[in-house]
């Protein structure tokens, strides 16, 4: 038997990483548009890589690490779901043009790889940040037992199979309801409690942890137990229950945006020192002068060439976007230059913030949405300032709104990749990988993800439609559209600022609440407790059923934390993967047939919530039993 090699970046690893990337990217785009959240794919990608490469033979820990580094782009580049659909919502696009979407996503993602190079030493090599997911991947990679690998893979398959079956009965056959809602009114005040039977949300809560889950539940309570009833009381309506959703969409969700913006701004302020030191070290003591081959990034010349290439690509995309509406030279050149500078300056700042938060709470919980809110506010304010200079006119506001969201899409891709790449670089540091090879692997992952994302977005839009966007086909059921909460919020903010209709009062109230939460969290951390302000903000502006079910998963994770934690993590990851992938399959069927209910069975609607609740409870019992059984003495 041949001993394992020491190869890192291999052709078979690139092919395997690309296959995993394509599958998980599709799953994550669907999940993000459905519930506003994605899952971190590094851990399941690590397990799959280990098993497949072991079957192929002559594998090693470094090759496995490079595969998961590349494949983890699935959990990151897919975050463009938070911005790109907003172009449909403001009426600038009517579909997702393939090559334009591909190049924008690719250029944005690659700038994220470039940004992490000067950040690596400050936030990874010489930092005490915990990087929970990065360390977890390192522990899995270090596992050498074939039996252990097979056991983890079985747990992932079990969770995926159970979740896919439940999702098939829910979204395909329509036998199970996807959740429940309890609502009542007292005078002009409406109260609502909603929950979902989604196993993907359950698994997300298990991985997020108790502090994040309870913080999101607090956000739900503030939204539906305090703010919606109070605003309804101040603005009496004939039908309070019917008006409640509108109050949440147009009022309370902007309060949540203010909370997220302040919490994210605090993160940026706290990063100022480490970022400046990291940039200085990267250019003063670069890779060419570093004697340690295991601490070597891509060379400065390669980085500079990449920056030039990406700037040219972005300039071409921005010119193509603006050309049909804006022909005259001065305004066109100014906007293109503004877009490039914004992508590199604001993009670097948001990449720093997301990377830092990933080091604290993990990639899946990092506040990309909150950072996006700050970015779109800054971008749109800059565009508004150009209107005051006369370069833009009032009748060109639609193109300015669309252009701001177009820039935001590139920045979102950049922030997402930076968020994930630092986590991967921490894993590589722990297992002895070479940083520059990891950076090449992530660039390849960007290519693979960008190739599939436009097709997935177009397929999901044609099959389901998005909330707040025109339905692509006549006769579609508006109750079955994908919620797409982040794109709707970004579109509302951009349109509100440019048209001077944004309710700044709600954002200001959210800012005050966010400041109070930041101070409260700082005090609690001295007591070794936590109340993440960003999680509270998410609870305020995500649909309540999302946060409630995530909290259920977080509580279950806390209650079962002593029982087979590694198996629990893999089953929970399987819950997310199974439902997400099946959602894409059902979307493809619906898109191909033109009927979202193509597989539906004639089950009475009154029976569906009961069947869904029973199935959800049965999975909870099975999940608990599976983990407790794992720890029983034989």
* pLDDT above 50 for 128: yes
Q: How far apart are the C-alpha atoms of 332 and 137, rounded to whole Å?
A: 46
Are 491 and 89 in contact by the 8 Å Cβ rule? The answer is: yes
Are 95 and 473 in contact by the 8 Å Cβ rule? The answer is: no
What is the number of residues in the chain?
Answer: 634
**What 3-state class would DSSP assign to 530?**
coil
Residues 6+ apart with CB under 8 A from 480: 464, 465, 596
H or E segment to which residue 304 belongs: helix 300-322
Provide the token pair at 65: 């690490």
Q: Give pLDDT, residue 308.
A: 92
Q: Give pLDDT, residue 213.
A: 82
Residues 6+ apart with CB under 8 A from 86: 405, 408, 487, 488, 490, 491, 494
Where do the structural domains in the chain lie, given as residue ranges?
A: 11-167+175-286+298-593+602-631
Residues 6+ apart with CB under 8 A from 117: 282, 297, 298, 303, 439
Alpha-carbon distances, residue 391 vs 246, 335, 340, 352, 386 (angstroms): 36, 9, 18, 32, 6
Q: Give pLDDT, residue 227.
A: 92
Q: How far apart are the C-alpha atoms of 194 and 199, rounded to whole Å?
A: 15
Q: Give pLDDT, residue 456.
A: 87
**Range with the lowest mean pLDDT among 12-26, 264-278, 451-465, 574-588?**
264-278
Are 36 and 547 in contact by the 8 Å Cβ rule? The answer is: no
Q: Give pLDDT, residue 147.
A: 43
CA angle 625, 630, 634 (to 5 degrees): 115
Q: How far apart are the C-alpha atoms of 269 and 278, rounded to whole Å?
A: 15
**Range with the lowest mean pLDDT among 35-44, 155-164, 297-306, 449-458?**
35-44
**pLDDT tens figures, 373-389:** 788 888 999 999 888 88
Output 625 or 22, whichever has higher pLDDT: 625
Q: How far apart are the C-alpha atoms of 293 and 284, rounded to whole Å?
A: 17
Are 542 and 291 in contact by the 8 Å Cβ rule? The answer is: no
Banded model confidence at residue 504, pLDDT cuts 50, 70, 90: confident
At how many degrees (to 10) do helices 565-593 and 11-35 cross?
Answer: 80
Provide the token pair at 104: 């924008």
* Pairing mode of beta strands 189-196, 179-186: antiparallel
Nearest to 45 by CA among 63, 20, 62: 20
**pLDDT tens figures, 376-428:** 888 999 999 888 887 877 788 888 899 999 999 999 888 888 877 787 888 78
Q: Give pLDDT, residue 287.
A: 41
Q: Give pLDDT, residue 425.
A: 82
Say how far residue 60 (Cα) sits from the centre of its chain.
Answer: 30
* pLDDT above 50 for 148: no
* pLDDT above 50 for 625: yes
Q: Could you give the count of Cα atoms lying within 13 Å of 160 in the half-sphere of its Cβ?
A: 17
Average the pLDDT over 414-443 and give the result.
82
Provide the token pair at 396: 């060109």
**pLDDT tens figures, 205-229:** 887 678 778 888 999 999 999 999 9
> Would you tell me how many other CB atoms lie within 10 Å of the CB of residue 446?
26
Q: Give pLDDT, residue 512.
A: 94
The DSSP-derived string for 191-255 is EEEEEE--HHHHHHHHHH-HHHHHHHHHHHIIIIIIIHHHHHHHS--SSHHHHHHHHIIIIIHHH
| CA-CA-CA-CA torsion sign (358, 363, 366, 369) | positive
**What 3-state class would DSSP assign to 180?**
strand
Are 375 and 307 in contact by the 8 Å Cβ rule? The answer is: no
Q: Give pLDDT, residue 312.
A: 95
**pLDDT averaged over every residue in the chain:** 80
Q: Give pLDDT, residue 220.
A: 92
CA angle 355, 358, 362 (to 5 degrees): 160
Q: How far apart are the C-alpha atoms of 405 and 629, rounded to whole Å?
A: 50
Portion of the chain with pLDDT greater than 70, in percent: 83
Q: Give pLDDT, residue 288.
A: 42
Average the pLDDT over 76-100 and give the result.
87
Beta strands in 322-383 (DSSP E): none
Highest mean pLDDT among 56-60, 255-259, 265-269: 255-259
| CA-CA-CA-CA torsion sign (576, 582, 583, 585) | positive
Q: Give pLDDT, residue 634.
A: 44
* pLDDT above 80 for 283: no
**pLDDT tens figures, 186-204:** 888 888 888 888 888 888 7
H or E segment to which residue 337 belongs: helix 329-361
Q: How far apart are the C-alpha atoms of 372 and 368, rounded to whole Å?
A: 6
* pLDDT above 80 for 145: no
H or E segment to which residue 265 belongs: helix 253-284
Alpha-carbon distances, residue 355 vs 233, 294, 295, 497, 604 (angstroms): 42, 21, 19, 28, 48
Portion of the chain with pLDDT greater than 90, in percent: 16
DSSP 2: P
**pLDDT tens figures, 335-355:** 999 999 999 988 887 777 777
Banded model confidence at residue 32, pLDDT cuts 50, 70, 90: confident
Banded model confidence at residue 103, pLDDT cuts 50, 70, 90: very high
Average the pLDDT over 597-610 and give the result.
84
Banded model confidence at residue 3, pLDDT cuts 50, 70, 90: very low
* pLDDT above 60 for 284: no
> Would you tell me how many other CB atoms lie within 10 Å of the CB of residue 527?
7
Q: How far apart are the C-alpha atoms of 391 and 372, rounded to whole Å?
A: 26
Nearest to 119 by CA among 440, 303, 348: 348
Output 526 or 135, whichever has higher pLDDT: 526
């Amino acid at each position: 038997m041949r001993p394992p090699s020491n190869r890192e970046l291999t052709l078979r690893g690139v092919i395997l990483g690309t296959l995993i990337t394509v599958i998980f990217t599709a799953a994550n785009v669907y999940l993000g548009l459905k519930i506003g959240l994605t899952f971190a794919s590094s851990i399941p990608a690590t397990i799959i890589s280990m098993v497949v490469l072991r079957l192929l033979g002559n594998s090693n820990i470094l090759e496995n690490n490079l595969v998961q580094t590349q494949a983890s782009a699935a959990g990151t580049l897919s975050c463009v779901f938070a911005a790109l659909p907003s172009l449909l919502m403001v009426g600038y696009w009517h579909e997702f043009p393939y090559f334009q979407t591909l190049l924008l996503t690719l250029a944005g993602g690659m700038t994220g790889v470039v940004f992490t190079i000067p950040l690596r030493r400050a936030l990874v090599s010489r930092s005490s940040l915990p990087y929970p997911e990065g360390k977890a991947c390192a522990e899995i990679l270090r596992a050498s037992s074939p039996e252990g690998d097979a056991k983890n893979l079985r747990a992932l398959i079990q969770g995926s199979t159970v979740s896919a079956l439940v999702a098939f009965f829910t979204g395909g056959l329509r036998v199970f309801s996807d959740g429940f809602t309890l609502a009542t009114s007292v005078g002009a005040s409406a109260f609502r409690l909603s929950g979902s039977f989604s196993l993907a949300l359950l698994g997300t809560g298990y991985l997020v942890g108790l502090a994040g889950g309870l913080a999101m539940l607090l956000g739900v309570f503030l939204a539906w137990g305090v703010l919606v009833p109070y605003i309804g009381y101040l603005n009496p309506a004939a039908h309070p229950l019917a008006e409640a959703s509108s109050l949440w969409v147009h009022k309370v969700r902007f309060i949540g945006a203010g909370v997220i913006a302040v919490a994210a701004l605090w993160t940026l302020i706290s990063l100022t020192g480490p970022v400046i030191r990291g940039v200085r070290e990267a250019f003063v003591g670069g890779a060419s002068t570093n004697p340690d081959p295991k601490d070597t990034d891509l060379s400065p010349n390669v980085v500079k060439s990449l920056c030039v290439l990406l700037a040219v690509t972005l300039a071409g995309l921005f010119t193509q976007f603006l050309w049909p509406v804006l022909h005259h030279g001065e305004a066109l050149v100014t906007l293109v230059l503004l877009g490039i500078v914004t992508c590199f300056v604001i993009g670097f700042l948001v990449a720093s913030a997301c990377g830092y938060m990933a080091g604290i709470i993990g990639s899946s919980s990092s506040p990309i949405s909150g950072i996006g809110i700050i970015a779109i506010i800054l971008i749109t304010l800059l565009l508004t300032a150009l209107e005051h200079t006369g370069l833009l006119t009032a009748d060109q506001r639609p193109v300015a709104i669309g252009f701001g969201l177009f820039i935001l899409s590139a920045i979102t891709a950049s922030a997402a990749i930076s968020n994930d790449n630092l986590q991967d670089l921490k894993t590589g540091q722990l297992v002895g990988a070479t940083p520059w090879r990891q950076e090449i692997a992530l660039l390849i992952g960007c290519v693979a993800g960008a190739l599939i994302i436009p097709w997935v977005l177009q397929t999901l839009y044609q099959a389901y439609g998005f909330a707040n966007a025109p339905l692509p086909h006549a006769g579609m059921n508006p109750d079955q559209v994908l919620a797409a909460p982040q794109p709707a919020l970004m579109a509302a903010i951009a349109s509100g600022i440019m048209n001077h209709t944004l309710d700044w009062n709600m954002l200001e109230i959210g800012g005050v609440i966010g400041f109070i939460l930041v101070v409260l969290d700082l005090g609690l951390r001295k007591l070794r407790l936590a109340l993440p302000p960003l999680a509270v903000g998410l609870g305020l502006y995500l649909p309540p059923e999302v946060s409630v079910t995530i909290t259920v998963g977080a509580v279950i994770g806390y209650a079962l934390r002593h029982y087979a934690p590694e198996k629990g993590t893999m089953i929970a990851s399987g819950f997310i993967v199974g439902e997400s992938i099946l959602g894409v399959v059902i979307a493809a069927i619906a898109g191909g047939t033109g009927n979202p209910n193509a597989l539906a069975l004639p089950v009475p609607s009154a029976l569906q919530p009961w069947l869904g609740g029973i199935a959800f409870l049965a999975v909870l019992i099975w999940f608990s039993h599976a983990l407790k059984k794992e720890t029983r003495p034989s």
